[in-house]
Amino acid sequence: MKGTTVCITGAGIVSAIGFGKEETLQALRQGRSGIAPIRYLETTHADEFPSGEVKADTPSLRRRLGMQDGNRTTLLGILAIQEALQQAGITDTRTVSLLSGTTVGGMEETEQHYAEALKHPGTTISIRTHHCGATTDAMAAFFGGFRHTATLSTACSSAANAILRAAEMIQSGRTDICIAGGSECLSKFHLNGFNSLMILDRRPCRPFDAGRAGLNLGEGAGFLVLESEVSARRRKAAVLGWLNGYGNACDAFHQTASSPEGEGAFLAMRQALEMAGLTPADIDYINAHGTGTPNNDASESRAVLRLFGGNYPPISSTKAFTGHTTSASGGIEAVICLLALQEQFLPQNLHFSEPMEGGLLPVQDQQPKRPVRHVLCNAFAFGGNDTSLLLSNQPV
């Protein structure tokens, strides 16, 4: 990567498979999925669509943080940010920028009050915390404020784009330290919306499998502390990994479907490699977007085969563990990639039994055949907004 080297000095995660990196790692190593019948979101579809809920109700998340209020997206975000800042040894956030991706924002809380409010004309429901920016501001307030905050809302690539944007800010010299990622809770709005698109599986999802029938939604948050190498050295912070490249491309095909040739995915991955000055043969693992929908997995497989050929690196989707955490997925999966680099293992692709035609054979064996040095993390979104991040355990 030209110019400033961007390194990672902290990481935080919360998802259906646990609170924090330790629990997440254990679940990944033990092959324990967090997909289950819906327990916390109030919906008539609770037993119909298995989902990856964070295993705690909202009041207990508040208690965990000693807070009186706060919506679920905010609380999940705070938990992940707290872990990341702690690891990076940052106590004063006034010189740090916060970039958070979300699309649901405070919608889930609004849903709880909306019907009631409509019955009582004249009363105004509080929608102060409804919009996406409000959840970022509430997260920022918890830590006493940041130098700069921004919210990115590009659907399922939001968190990945927040990380990309943070790297650009560091490289352009606008800031030394950014905490970037995303947070998203389950809401009736997007559960029903995805159902209307008929892309939810009624069984646990099976990414890259010939019999895959859709995705399971999930929720959670994942954040990275990104920092210029100079700043990390000055603070004597331990460097956990490097963000050596990234790419964003538009698939320019359809509002919600991916192109048959996976053009956007192909271009995003290729850009990330070019920026890092690496070749396809240098990549040791790909954490796929791999939602489990027939369309995404076919398109992404095609993109990988076009870029890497038949000798493609180990690839897996971890969405059968966490569910598709939509806007947070890029953050959650970037943290999972970092764990893979640190612990030298390959997260496995659960529920795979039969390859699709022209498809990929995803990771079944956690033991890598060669050192895991450079990994790609994919996040693709409605609107054809495709992002790939290149994380490494060494600079290039």
Partner 1 sequence: MRLLQYIRVNSEGIWLNGRFSALPTGDWAEALYRQDGIQYPKFFKMDHLCRIGWMASELLLAGENDRFEPRTDRAVILFNRSGSLCNDTQYQTTIQDPDNYFPSPALFVYTLPNIVTGEIAIRNGYRGETSCYLLPDFDAGILVETSRQALQDPGTRSLLTGWVECAPGQSDDLLLCLVDAETEENWNEKNLLQLYRYGHL
- For partner 1, the binding residues in 369-388 under the rule CB under 8 A are 381-385
Catalytic residue list: 156, 289, 324
Q: How far, in Å, CA of 119 to CA of 38, rounded?
A: 28
> If binding is defined by CB under 8 A, does position 271 make contact with partner 1?
yes
Q: Side-chain half-sphere of 16: how many Cα atoms within 13 Å?
A: 29
**At 267, phi and psi to the nearest 5?**
-65, -40
Nearer to partner 1 by Cβ, of 105 and 359: the residue is 105
CA 308 – CA 326 distance, rounded (Å): 26
Taking CB under 8 A as the criterion, the residue among 239, 253, 342, 344 binding partner 1 is 253
CB of 207 to partner 1, least distance (A): 22
Do strands 148-152 and 96-101 pair parallel, antiparallel, or not at all (unpaired)? parallel
Q: Which amino acid is at 305?
A: L
If binding is defined by CB under 8 A, does position 392 make contact with partner 1?
no
Torsion angle of the four alpha carbons 28, 31, 34, 37, in this order, in degrees rounded to the nearest 10: 170
Q: Which of 22, 69, 168, 354 binds partner 1 (CB under 8 A)?
A: 168
Whichever of 36 and 127 has its CB closer to partner 1, that residue is 127
Query: Of the two residues 101 and 359, which places its CB atom closer to partner 1 in the complex?
Result: 101
3-state secondary structure 42-78: CCCCCCCCCEECCCCCHHHHHHHHCCCCCCHHHHHHH
161 part of the interface to partner 1, by CB under 8 A: yes
Tokens standing for residue 238: 């331990």
* Contacts of 116-120 spanning 24+ positions with Cβ under 8 A: none
- Identify the residue among 133, 280, 294, 355 touching partner 1 (CB under 8 A): 133
Is 170 a binder of partner 1 (CB under 8 A)? no
Q: Is there binding between residue 267 and partner 1 (CB under 8 A)?
A: yes
Binding-site member from 256, 295, 342, 366 for partner 1 (CB under 8 A):
256
Please identify which residue in 264, 290, 323, 331 interacts with partner 1, judged by CB under 8 A. Answer: 264
Bridge partners (DSSP) listed for residue 182? 101, 222
| Closest CB 253 distance from partner 1, rounded Å | 7
Q: Is 155 in the site for partner 1 (CB under 8 A)?
A: yes
Binding mask 68-107 for partner 1 (x = CB under 8 A): -----------------------------------x----
Structure tokens at 335: 């943290």
What is the number of other CB atoms lying within 10 angstroms of the CB of residue 157?
31
Nearer to partner 1, 202 or 234 (CB): 202
